[in-house]
Amino acid sequence: MREKKVGLIINADDLGRTAGINSGIFQAHRQGVVTSATLMVNYPASPLAAAELPAVPGLGVGLHVALTGGVPTLPAEQVSSLVDEHGRLPAKPEDFEALSASQVLAEVRAQLAKFQAMTGGLPTHLDGHHHCHRLPEVFSALVTVAVEHKLPVRMVSPEMRQALERAGVPTTDSFENSFYGPGATLENLLALLDNLPAGVTEVMCHPARVDDELRGGSGYSEERERELEVLTHPQVRSQVAALGIPSIHFGDLLAGCDEPVHPVSSRCQ
């Protein structure tokens, strides 16, 4: 029986959405405690993010499957259950009416293929924008793709963790989403780090340098600057160092790191 893994993953969502988000995430990795990010492949700034990845080899990069906001990878007529009459994805997962499971799977595979074309490798893991993989059709698609490529998937509830474990898909032991909005403060993050549960914990975050594109397209914009400030704060860096557990990314969840490390992620602890 393998020894239970321990570690802390601090994952920045929305890489590739705007140039300011790219800048903030890379700064939060280089100067702060972010160890992982997830790339959205259908935004104009995503190729710019992918081009910078060789300069941050220690940053694990997953695929942020986006079925809300913007447009799909596939032509609208191929994913008609995902889009409106203008070919756009809904704003939130709860806006879907009747998803086609086969269309969802096709779109997830198309986004993965686009990720591979941009980066030259597989992602370290899969997760869902707006936690869209809470929807059963999306969860099923992510599990299918994860099994095909031996990828971890973000869990966002104990029930999801159990379902992923039954499917043989690696995931974390716990997921922390309280560092968001009013909770994105130095005091709250330090308290969160002080009370990490056993095993591997993922902390979700959204650092950015706020730009006009982000202000115009997201209801969560100015708060991202505050997240960046906290994630690069000397007290947070010192606290993470004092924890005595590895700061890792999702690629390190692969059993004992005895399988090849994905090209987008070069670190294996």
Lowest mean pLDDT among 5-9, 53-57, 170-174: 5-9
CB 81 within 8 A of CB 103: yes
Could you give the percent of the chain with pLDDT greater than 90?
A: 83
Question: Which pLDDT belongs to residue 157?
Answer: 96
Question: Which pLDDT belongs to residue 120?
Answer: 97
Question: Which pLDDT belongs to residue 265?
Answer: 38
Question: Which pLDDT belongs to residue 49?
Answer: 98
Stated length of the chain: 269
Question: Which pLDDT belongs to residue 256?
Answer: 53
CB 171 within 8 A of CB 152: yes
Question: Which pLDDT belongs to residue 112?
Answer: 98
- Per-residue pLDDT, averaged over 10-21, amounts to 97
Would you say residue 266 has pLDDT above 70?
no
In whole angstroms, what separates CA 20 from the centre of its chain?
Answer: 17
Would you say residue 263 has pLDDT above 70?
no
What is the band of 3 on the pLDDT scale with cuts at 50, 70, 90? low
**Cα separation, 236 vs 242, whole angstroms:** 10
Would you say residue 4 has pLDDT above 70?
no
- Per-residue pLDDT, averaged over 40-65, amounts to 97
Provide the total of helices (H) and of strands (E) in the chain, helices listed first: 9, 6
**Cα separation, 130 vs 105, whole angstroms:** 17
> Could you read off the pLDDT of 127-174 as tens digits, one per residue?
999 999 999 999 999 999 999 999 999 999 999 999 999 999 999 999
- Which residues 6+ apart lie within 8 Å of 248 measured at CB? 7, 8, 9, 35, 60, 200, 267, 269
- Mean pLDDT estimate for the chain: 92
CB 56 within 8 A of CB 265: no
